[in-house]
Amino acid sequence: MKKIIQQNLLAKYYDRFPLTDYFSFDITPHVSVVQFESGETILSEGTSPAMLYYLIEGRAKLYLSHENGRISLINFLDAPCFLGEMELIGAQDNSNGVTAITPCTCYAINTDACRHKMLEDVRFLRHLCLFLGKKAVGNTFNYSRNQSWPLEVRLADFILLTSQNGYYREKHTEASEFLGVTYRHLLYVLADFVERGLLEKTDRGYHIKDHAELKKLAHHEHHNL
């Protein structure tokens, strides 16, 4: 994690993403701007975070580890969104894991210093309720889509969501569980994508050879309506 201290960069973020509009009190003394590299941990699983993050640039993934060692991919998190809000309001004590997929820039609010004021701030709570409501609607849509679309469509979309610098590297076990299919079925469709020239299997992962065709297959335009 890198903290931004250059005043010109700070001013740029505050102008583009006015977090102060979310609060009825001056939140700026408790806020810093931080950046995470691709693959870096934003929230450590099993910890009680002292920060509420607001993702302003980038994409991250939310995951959960099980006692048997398996890891479940829960969801993708796209800017703008809160990270750690469930812990702030007490819905859960410890955080699920959040890892940056792409480079991420966040506001980091030191909740240890202002938790009481935040949880009594009607303006902030309204924004948070709206965010949680939209997230619930989005999760319902994603579940419905997973039940409705064939695997090749969902996998194409999944590859586009998780790829970095033109490469797809997600673990097959986690991907198959997230997509609700068998490991064998996932490998079959990946092999088909390679044969069709959409992907190329390399030592660095699956290289996306035909991004336009993969995007077309994913019905990307339809998903963004």
pTM attached to this predicted model:
0.81
pLDDT 10s digits, 85-111: 999 998 888 888 999 999 999 999 999
Cα-based angle 31, 32, 34 (whole degrees, multiple of 5): 140
pLDDT 10s digits, 123-168: 999 999 999 998 888 777 766 666 678 899 999 999 998 898 899 9
Residue 185 structure tokens: 């079925």
Which backbone phi and psi does 93 adopt, to 5 degrees?
Answer: -80, -40
First to last CA, the chain: 34
In order of start, what are the domains of the chain with their CATH numbers?
2-144 (2.60.120.10), 149-223 (1.10.10.10)
pLDDT 10s digits, 176-221: 988 888 999 999 999 999 999 999 999 999 999 999 999 998 874 4
Distance CA 35, CA 158 (A): 24
Q: Which residue has the higher pLDDT, 140 or 82?
A: 82
Give CA separation, 174 vs 72, 74, 91, 110, 114, in Å.
6, 10, 25, 32, 37
